[in-house]
Structure 1
Amino acid sequence: MSILTQDELATGTYLGRVWCPDANGPAVVTLRDDEVIDITCKTAPTVRDICEMDDPAGYVAQAEGHAIAPLETVAEACVGDPSLVHFLAPCDLQAIKACGVTFANSMVERVIEELAAGDAQKADTIRQRVSAVIGDSLRNIRAGSPEAAQVKQTLIDADVWSPYLEVGIGPDAEIFSKAQVLSSVGPGAEVGLHPISTWNNPEPEVVLAVSSNGRIVGAALGNDVNLRDIEGRSALLLSKAKDNNGSCAIGPMIRLFDDGYALDDVRKAELALTVEGPDGFILEGRSSMREISRDPEDLVSQAIGRHHQYPDGLMLFLGTLFAPTMDRDVAGQGFTHKIGDVVTIAAPGLGSLCNTVNLSTDCPEWTFGISHLMRNLAQRGML
């Protein structure tokens, strides 16, 4: 499994984590000459500590360390096997937050989910009705603008207004807690679907690494696994739909911002999605950050500031343009996952994040929490 191209390796500064059998815990790593380099030390025992530095990329580029194994070996290792070095999610102590409904297409699909009450069989009919009213009216609207307010009134008059459109084009973004600290999975891991869900899909997104003072220090890829039927029944079921065992994947590593890659590159990022099913089904999609309705800096400022502090920083999912409507089995019922689907999210500069779909009840349990990390680091003399 190739997680980064040779060009990405040659030009980028990467920060991540692996499971280290010798330490019986995680190691902070970077990449040099196709080798995974352990840079864990007392100065920076966590990824969080590096993201808090004045120049994270400069520190990582010069940090002393030792080679653990070739990148290819680590990338292909069985995730979850404690006897093997394998990749983990690249963040550790950061809060995991996510923005919803930040693209026009996803706004429309969220409205459809709500009007269908989570019933995939009703979605296609409702999609035609909603599209006839909305058309392309949302595509070039700046969220919170006077033009957006006019569109809002038009939609209310047409009886298709929704809380999803409020956060999509109104002044306030939807920002929610996606996963618990240390619960995210990394490349090669299984991603989980709650077993009660029958209508769901992947969500390819850029994930920003943000320090405690609100500074954006890098970016990674993410899969904000989406349960369309659960959230569609009620927006109040968002936590049940979003925060489950294995439901948040981030990786393959954080690309730290430096002279070769910065926030403007994120603003131009083109994400490609491929789903390869055990039934031979193939779904391809895309998410273009050029079409986002809120700038990443605006989303960060709405998540962190005087109104809300994150002493250990945060990882912020930016939302997705992708909303699958292609039928998989039954005409008019659209796409939903099957167990065993292989989901690959890729973007130039950020690499490739590949995960296999399972039920959250069958994914490996999350057992390594903050207390375990602190005890492990203390035993290793890192604290």
Structure 2
Amino acid sequence: MHRIYKLKSGVLFDVNGNFYLEEKIKDWNDFINNDDLFQSVIRIVAGAKKVENGLQLIDQEVLPPIDKQEIWASGVTYFRSREARKEEAETTEGENFYEKVYDAVRPELFFKASAQRTVGTNDKVNIRKDSVWNVPEPELTLFVTSNSSIVGYSIGNDMSSRSIEGENPLYLPQAKVYERCAALGPCIAVSNKPIDSGTRILMKIVRERNLVYEESVSINQMKRKHQELVSFLFKECEFPYGCFLMTGTGMVPPKEFTLKSGDEISISIDSIGTLVNTVN
């Protein structure tokens, strides 16, 4: 995988551990909304300036890899997610909804965030003040062009208020969409072939220097295919700048766990990198 980082000073490319900075790319939207993005990266790198301080540039200048795109999300795509949603909805007799959508032809898809409500790595995410049960949801995130082609992969954190969603499934938008509700980054990883089905997602949560949660899952545990989710998303929606699609979570902290201010959430995905956020 080649990695593309959106920086304050330009676009940084990581190709096999070598870093190249291109300062002439002025329109991020046009650049990434390209069905031939992988080959475009190869061509740009051939004429770009090689830099030795790539890691330092990422640490100091990296931005979330989004501008005019929307972020959408998928729900109940892993068996573990189905069971967790049934648990949180037990008191409202809503658990049957989640069992049905897991087995249905049509997947659960919902709008998650615009760039305004999205943060990048090393930034802060929010938890709702009117929710008593809040969790991060680590998700492989697809970048899809306006022609519905999957050309890149990123890491997403779909922050969720489980107490609100569990009270009533109709409260889903309030549980999912609020300020700093989504984290995305640190890059877009591109390849000339689909991501490996054995790719692992790892999440760690550190509280006051103590590891309080750690779990991993392989994306081959997903019930839905990536292109299947994209096909439903694009049935009646147009995305002139492309879009990001979170593909669902296979990790759910236990019922007694809830995020607290100061918690550090670290999500790593093989071949992509690590997304790190602190809870406000």
Whether TM exceeds 0.5 here: the answer is yes
Where in structure 2 are the equivalents of 1:312-351 lying within 5 Å? 312-325=241-254, 334-351=256-273
RMSD: 2.1
**CA drift at 1:57:** 1.4
**CA drift at 1:91:** 2.2
Please point out which of 233, 237, 243 is paired with 2:167.
Answer: 233
Please point out which of 20, 36, 39 is paired with 1:55.
Answer: 36
Q: Is it true that 1:13 corresponds to 2:14 in the alignment?
A: no
List gaps (5 residues or longer) in structure 1: 1-11, 21-26, 78-85, 118-158, 326-332, 359-383
Q: Is the 8 A contact 1:223 1:250 kept in 2?
A: yes
Q: Is the 8 A contact 1:29 1:40 kept in 2?
A: no
Q: Secondary structure at the match of 1:19?
A: coil
Q: 1:271 — aligned with what?
A: 201
Please point out which of 79, 85, 101 is paired with 2:76.
Answer: 101
Q: Tell me, in whole angstroms, the C-alpha distance in 1 between the residues paired with 2:124 and 2:51.
A: 24
**CA drift at 1:257:** 2.1
Q: Tell me, in whole angstroms, the C-alpha distance in 1 between the residues paired with 2:8 and 2:127.
A: 24
Q: Secondary structure at the match of 1:116?
A: helix
Q: 1:76 — aligned with what?
A: 59
Q: Is the 8 A contact 1:205 1:287 kept in 2?
A: no
Normalising to structure 2: TM-score of the pair?
0.91
Q: Tell me, in whole angstroms, the C-alpha distance in 2 between the residues paired with 1:256 and 1:281.
A: 32
**CA drift at 1:293:** 0.9
Q: Percent identity?
A: 29
Q: Secondary structure at the match of 2:77?
A: coil
**CA drift at 1:264:** 4.3
Q: Tell me which amino acid in the other structure corresponds to 1:76.
A: D
Q: Is it true that 1:308 corresponds to 2:237 in the alignment?
A: yes
Q: Secondary structure at the match of 2:31?
A: helix
Q: Tell me, in whole angstroms, the C-alpha distance in 1 between the residues paired with 2:245 and 2:100.
A: 20
Please point out which of 184, 188, 209 is paired with 2:118.
Answer: 184
Q: 2:145 — aligned with what?
A: 211
Q: Which has the higher strand share?
A: 2
Q: Tell me which amino acid in the other structure corresponds to 1:185.
A: V
Q: Tell me, in whole angstroms, the C-alpha distance in 2 between the residues paired with 1:13 and 1:347.
A: 14
**CA drift at 1:76:** 3.3
- Computing the radius of gyration from Cα coordinates, the structure with the larger value is 1
Q: Tell me, in whole angstroms, the C-alpha distance in 2 between the residues paired with 1:346 and 1:272.
A: 5
Where in structure 2 are the equivalents of 1:339-378 lying within 5 Å? 339-358=261-280
Deviations 1:189-208 (A, max 9, x none): 11111111221111111000
Q: Tell me, in whole angstroms, the C-alpha distance in 1 between the residues paired with 2:145 and 2:39.
A: 16
**CA drift at 1:71:** 2.7
Q: Tell me, in whole angstroms, the C-alpha distance in 2 between the residues paired with 1:176 and 1:233.
A: 18
Q: 1:41 — aligned with what?
A: 25
List gaps (5 residues or longer) in structure 2: none
**CA drift at 1:53:** 2.5
Q: Tell me which amino acid in the other structure corresponds to 2:54.
A: L
**CA drift at 1:75:** 3.7
Q: Secondary structure at the match of 2:7?
A: strand
Normalising to structure 1: TM-score of the pair?
0.67
Q: Is it true that 1:256 corresponds to 2:190 in the alignment?
A: yes
**CA drift at 1:29:** 3.2
**CA drift at 1:90:** 1.2
Deviations 1:305-348 (A, max 9, x none): 3x2221111100000111111xxxxxxx5111111111111122
Q: Is the 8 A contact 1:75 1:188 kept in 2?
A: no
| Count of aligned residue pairs for this structure pair | 277
Q: Tell me, in whole angstroms, the C-alpha distance in 2 between the residues paired with 1:41 and 1:312.
A: 16
**CA drift at 1:72:** 2.5
